[in-house]
Chain A
Amino acid sequence: MSKYTPIIGLEVHVELKTQSKMFCSCSADYFGKDPNTHTCPVCLGLPGALPVPNKQAIEWCIMIALALNCEINLFSKFDRKNYFYPDLPKGYQISQYDLPFGKKGSITLSSGKTIGITRVHMEEDTGKLMHQTVNGQKISLVDYNRSSVPLVEIVTEPDFDNADDVVEYLQKLQTIVRYLGVSNADMEKGDMRLEPNISLTDKPGVFPPYKVEVKNINSFKFVHKAISYELKRQEEILEKGETPLQETRGWNEAQNNTVSQRIKEEANDYRYFPEPDIPPITHTVEEIAQFKSSLPELREEKIKRFMTEFFLSEYDSSQMTREKDEADLFEDAVKIGKEKNITAKQIANFIMNKKDSVFLSSKELIALIETDLKKEELDPAELDAIIQSVLSQNEKAVTDYKSGKESVIMFLVGQCMRAIGKKVDAHVIKNALIKSLS
């Protein structure tokens, strides 16, 4: 058992899937497009261009904040974060500093542990840099298609103390934003990005004098690896009686380690000041209440409801609610299935077992299930053989039935079904039994 307790805080960036960018009307659907074909004077940082914020993006940011139980700042604004880097065309990023849209939220993990959400704010994405060596010379190529695409930044308190919880949090966050329909949150595509801040303390509750930021973790499968590696690296240093350097490190997936990036002698001074080109954003208590009531049922609630309404197990409910679209389709199928005596459990089982079935609508799903159930009909001869077998093994029941105790038939139906071992139409068996017994 390690004498050190990890202290981990997370910064996640979620790219919103709006039609247009955050501060201009260029299409935000930039992935895979030819370089610099989705730009305009605003997102290219040309002289004289001015930003105008995307209404939908702000609403979606507030929805994310509400889904994370945040308080919403009724008076909010944008601020300029000033620094120089080639992928930042204006030499500043329009972001939020002291009045983010959301603050002081929380999310509860399956263990019951609550993670504090410090803030949820709106900002714009940067362009993309590609490093190359041409004729022995190191150059970078820049594509600004991604510049100014809307990003929501979600920052947690340093409440995590293990990598598993971090993974669970990320999965929950991914499900939430997918349920809200505001982002595809695909780590591999870069529309959900994670930067954990990691340190170790040997005095629980006391923050050490350093923390390490880790970048470039672009897949769920690396989250656990990167954090574990980093914790181990830091522990080794601490064991030597030294303090790990406060720095930014990059996860290197080829080498399975973290590598130091630029060591900054001083923290970057972003010289935040209120964005003069954009008037403040205000909301009323009523408007926020309306946003809140328009939140779709999120996964946690849906799971609970499926368990009570449809008598499904927690596992089955969880499986049926991984994506909102699938959950909606399932629920619709349950409605249709009710008319045809197909249970929710049957539908759930079908979905879980038949992974290769393609069904686009709930109607198609039910149709497939019906066909499948019919397939389980017995060959009459096989059925007859089983009936004979069951009757011969249950003479007393047969006698009882023949002497008028009709309810015994259900016992015999049950015996037959057990013997068949497949799901079959009980009515068919009942009728066949009655026939045999008469």
Chain B
Amino acid sequence: MNNLTIVEARKKLDTKEVSSLELTQYFLGEIKKKNDHLNAFITISEKEALSMAEQADEKLKNGDSTPLLGIPLALKDIYMTKGVRTTAASKVLENYIPQYDGTAVMLLKKAGAVILGKTNLDAWAHGSSGENSDFSPTKNPYNTEYVPGGSSSGSPVAVASEMALAASGTDTGGSIRLPASFCNVVGLKPTYGRVSRYGVIAMASSLDSIGHFTKTVEDNALYLQVTAGKYTMDATSPPIDVPNYTQNLSQGVKGLKIGVPKEYFIDGLDPRIKDMIDKSLKWYEDQGAEIIEISLPHTSYAIEVYYIIQTAEVSSNLARYDGIRFGNTRASFGPEAKRRIMLGTYVLSAGYYDAFYKKAMQVRTLLKNDFEEAFKKVDVMITPASPTLPWKLGEKTSDPLSMYLSDILTVHANLVGIPGLSVPIGFLEGLPVGMQILGPHFSEEKLYQVGYAFEQSHPFWKERPKNE
């Protein structure tokens, strides 16, 4: 069962080569072997998983064969799962058992997926490395002295080290795209509103995107097919139809206009990463795409705008954690949560609202305009996902600001709401590197085509971590 993808697992399940129960037991076994070392899971829901697998096997016996039926996956522990502990990796919720399933969870269950457990993250999704978890950091499986990226840290590791066939995440400032690129997996940040936020613990309401990690682009598209939709419980989810994401995957890139925003190739960008991106762009050009240099002039202000709007919304969204109806008191918040709550409170407070929050909302308009202008000239954009390679555990924890700056290439997309797909493009010093493909709102189909084309010729996903 090495290097299994959803597509291959589907074949094995459909031909009865393996049952969902066997598949599930296999992954539970892998989790037991590897989790102590990698710390990808906070909660392993073995009983529930086996029960779901049995139900899936019943359906398979009746001849059902939908893409995720019987497929074991994991959920970032920020997704509310009824009856299964949900902590947001925070001591505030360390014993909280939700009374309801979020929409995305309901859809995955309805599709017959098997949920193995809840994966680790930076507490409340506040972080870029996984080190802000109140349950110890997750480790990068390609080199366990290094961070896997965050805030979704456990999910990409679960997929990369074969503890699950797919895993969910959230992306508010890069929390899927960055760790995907650090862990050699495919990570999608969908368009804001494409997947319902109902039942996902809110970080920043106008920025949170509900996405996921898989080994391959095709797997990723199969998963999105289940979670994308038009929703009634989330008022910010536009009533846009869901296309068939896998139908035209091998379309190719002939005639495609790929934009390269010059402001993303900043001083702090590791020149070797720049080199890898350049080579990828050359490859696309050879396939018939047109590479066009574009400008997103206000890019350098994106981080400031992000840390004002995000922390303001965080400070309000975390106000409900008061220990009265559930959870522990606010004294249990970790330092990063406290920092962001206070920062957000400050930028909204009397006398400062105009200078900070209002200003940030205005610059957000400028950022939006930058992208709108750019997408008139190009179909998609390609950039690095991170200016640096994964860093060593502990390297950035004493300076919050330097941690914030690692988001510099990803926050832009969240502020504007556009989708982004992170795809592996190779290794440096044994550590994974990814590229980020950005597109206009609701262009996931196109992003998948662009990513798929590269992946077919550069199957880096087949390189599994050696540290097991």
Q: Chain A residues in contact with chain B, CB under 8 A?
A: 41, 44-53, 80, 82, 84, 86, 89-92, 142, 144, 269, 271, 273, 276-279
The chain A residue with its CB closest to the CB of B96 is: A47
Beta-carbon contact of A52 and B232 below 8 Å: yes
Query: Which secondary structure dominates chain A's binding surface?
Result: loop
Tell me if B236 counts as interface (CB < 8 A to partner A).
Answer: yes
Q: How far is the CA of A49 from the CA of B103 in the complex (A)?
A: 10
Beta-carbon contact of A91 and B316 below 8 Å: yes
Known: A47-B201, A48-B79, A92-B319. 4 other contacts (CB 8 A): A48-B98, A52-B234, A144-B325, A269-B350
Beta-carbon contact of B348 and A48 below 8 Å: no
- Chain B residues with CB under 8 Å of A41's CB are 99-100, 199
- Chain A residues with CB under 8 Å of B201's CB are 47-48
- Chain B residues with CB under 8 Å of A80's CB are 316
Q: How far is the CA of A28 from the CA of B316 in the complex (A)?
A: 26
Closest Cβ of chain A: how far from B380's Cβ, in Å? 27
Knowing A86-B324, A276-B205, the reply to whether A48 touches B200 (Cβ < 8 A) is yes
Tell me if B405 counts as interface (CB < 8 A to partner A).
Answer: no
Q: How far is the CA of A49 from the CA of B93 in the complex (A)?
A: 16
- Chain B residues with CB under 8 Å of A144's CB are 325
Beta-carbon contact of B324 and A47 below 8 Å: no
Beta-carbon contact of A92 and B232 below 8 Å: no
Q: How far is the CA of A50 from the CA of B232 in the complex (A)?
A: 10
- Chain A residues with CB under 8 Å of B96's CB are 47
Contact with A47, one of B232, B320, B345 (Cβ below 8 angstroms): B320
Tell me if B49 counts as interface (CB < 8 A to partner A).
Answer: no
Q: How far is the CA of A50 from the CA of B96 in the complex (A)?
A: 19
Beta-carbon contact of B348 and A273 below 8 Å: yes
Closest Cβ of chain A: how far from B137's Cβ, in Å? 23
Closest Cβ of chain A: how far from B232's Cβ, in Å? 7
- Chain B residues with CB under 8 Å of A47's CB are 80, 86, 88, 93, 96, 98, 201-202, 320-321, 326
- Chain B residues with CB under 8 Å of A49's CB are 198-199
- Chain B residues with CB under 8 Å of A51's CB are 235
Beta-carbon contact of B325 and A48 below 8 Å: no
Closest Cβ of chain A: how far from B326's Cβ, in Å? 7
The chain B residue with its CB closest to the CB of A91 is: B319
Q: How far is the CA of A338 from the CA of B401 in the complex (A)?
A: 84
- Chain A residues with CB under 8 Å of B100's CB are 41, 46
- Chain B residues with CB under 8 Å of A44's CB are 325
Tell me if B357 counts as interface (CB < 8 A to partner A).
Answer: yes
Knowing A45-B325, A84-B322, the reply to whether A269 touches B205 (Cβ < 8 A) is no
Tell me if B197 counts as interface (CB < 8 A to partner A).
Answer: yes
Closest Cβ of chain A: how far from B341's Cβ, in Å? 11
Closest Cβ of chain B: how far from A148's Cβ, in Å? 13
The chain A residue with its CB closest to the CB of B237 is: A50
Q: How far is the CA of A406 from the CA of B53 in the complex (A)?
A: 105
Q: How far is the CA of A47 from the CA of B136 in the complex (A)?
A: 22
- Chain A residues with CB under 8 Å of B93's CB are 47
Sampled A-B contacts (7; CB under 8 Å) = A47-B88, A50-B202, A90-B319, A92-B319, A271-B349, A273-B348, A277-B235
- Chain B residues with CB under 8 Å of A46's CB are 80, 98-100, 320, 325-326
Beta-carbon contact of B102 and A48 below 8 Å: yes
B318-347 vs A: 1/0 string, CB under 8 Å?
111110111000000000000000000100
- Chain A residues with CB under 8 Å of B324's CB are 86, 89, 142
Q: How far is the CA of A52 from the CA of B235 in the complex (A)?
A: 6
Knowing A89-B320, A91-B320, A92-B319, the reply to whether A277 touches B99 (Cβ < 8 A) is no
- Chain B residues with CB under 8 Å of A278's CB are 235-236
Q: How far is the CA of A142 from the CA of B88 in the complex (A)?
A: 26
Which B residues from 294 to 322 make CB contacts under 8 A with A? Answer: 312-313, 315-316, 318-322
- Chain A residues with CB under 8 Å of B313's CB are 276
Which B residues from 167 to 212 make CB contacts under 8 A with A? Answer: 197-202, 204-206
The chain A residue with its CB closest to the CB of B352 is: A271
Q: How far is the CA of A39 from the CA of B320 in the complex (A)?
A: 15
Knowing A273-B312, A276-B206, the reply to whether A91 touches B322 (Cβ < 8 A) is yes
Beta-carbon contact of B325 and A273 below 8 Å: no
Beta-carbon contact of A273 and B202 below 8 Å: no
